[in-house]
Amino acid sequence: MLSKFIFLYCALVIVITGILAVRFRNPVHSVLAVLVLFFHMAGLYLLLNAEFLAAIQIIVYAGAILVLYLFVLFLVNIRQEIKTERFVANHNISKFISFLVFLILIAVTQSFRLGTPGKWTTDAIRQATHTKALGIEIFTSYILPFEIIALILLVAVVGGILLAKQDKQEVVMAQKEGSGSLTRGGKK
Amino acid sequence: MPGAFLPSEYLAILMLLLVGIAFGVITLWIGRYFRVQRPYFEKLVAYESGNPPTEAPRMRFSVKFYTIAILFIVFDVEAIFLYPWALVYDKLGMFALVEMFIFIILLLVGFIYAWKKGNLQWDK
């Protein structure tokens, strides 16, 4: 009963903050909404018996990835969302289509059936502790995906460095303009 | 929701959260009735170590912060995989060691790339 209540609370907050993150005009407010969302995701993971994932959700997502989002916000330097004309004037068609998709999703959820429980039941995970169970699964059954993660992270490092590479010419031009904003912050 | 259970060990953290939120809200709310509120322009200016602020706080940052953030996230994720690995190491032994070495060497390539490109240095 109580677990159902906590689940519904977390799910409700996740949906609301998700909508708010899209709706807020100030991008920093959106990031704060996403922060609340991440914390409630961690609560859901705890309810699902996945305490390691809950901790990771807070450490990596709320800690590191949100910082990255904030850096991106500061890089693009928009104070407020730019107001433009609507791309599509007629909203009713899109509303109708999204309502149809909503109905289809409702219909599909009726056909969900629970699968048969596998090796890791709630009791088995509690006995082995979640982190250990996760470790055994990663390092025996999912070796290849694990090594692919390393490759994906490598791509992220190389891509990030290449994207953020400053051409020497651009730096000189920015300094000539007198803004000096490219190297600001480091010299403080 | 079958499989859902109440992690009672985490009830303490929930209590801590609730008490923390309540403490902040209640002290500020009670303080409203006691504190003097006489704002004028200098009081409302953003505090910047006592100096008058020179520009808006949302200025553009150097892109170098971004590369450092990316590098931080990547090695953060690497460190997280070390944690369950360390827990199951005594069970899997040599096998797990080789696996983790491949993982770390792949990431080391990225580290050396960042190093050689000078991204670990601020002024190159």
Confidence of residue A151 (pLDDT cuts 50, 70, 90): very high
For B95-121, write each residue's pLDDT tens digit.
889 999 999 999 999 999 998 888 788
- pLDDT value at position A187? 37
SS (H, E, C) B4-36: CCCCHHHHHHHHHHHHHHHHHHHHHHHHCCCCC
Contacts of B51 in chain A (CB under 8 A): none
For residues A155-170, average pLDDT: 80
Contacts of B74 in chain A (CB under 8 A): 153, 156-157
Alpha carbons A163 and A68: distance in angstroms, whole number: 14
Nearest chain A residue (CA) to B10: A46
Q: Does B83 touch chain A (CB under 8 A)?
A: yes
pLDDT beyond 60 at A115: yes
Q: From the CA of A145, how many Å to the nearest CA of chain B?
A: 11
Indicate yes or no: CB of B61 within 8 angstroms of CB of A182.
no
pLDDT beyond 90 at A8: yes
DSSP A34-96: HHHHHHHHHHHHHHTT-HHHHHHIIIIIIIIIHHHHHHHHHHHT-SSPPP---S-S--HHHHH
For B17-70, write each residue's pLDDT tens digit.
999 999 999 999 999 999 888 888 888 887 778 777 777 766 677 778 888 888
C-alpha distances out from residue A20 to A13, A27, A36, A44, A61, Å: 10, 11, 11, 19, 18
* ipTM over the 0.85 cut-off: no
pLDDT beyond 50 at A116: yes
Contacts of A186 in chain B (CB under 8 A): 62, 64, 122-123
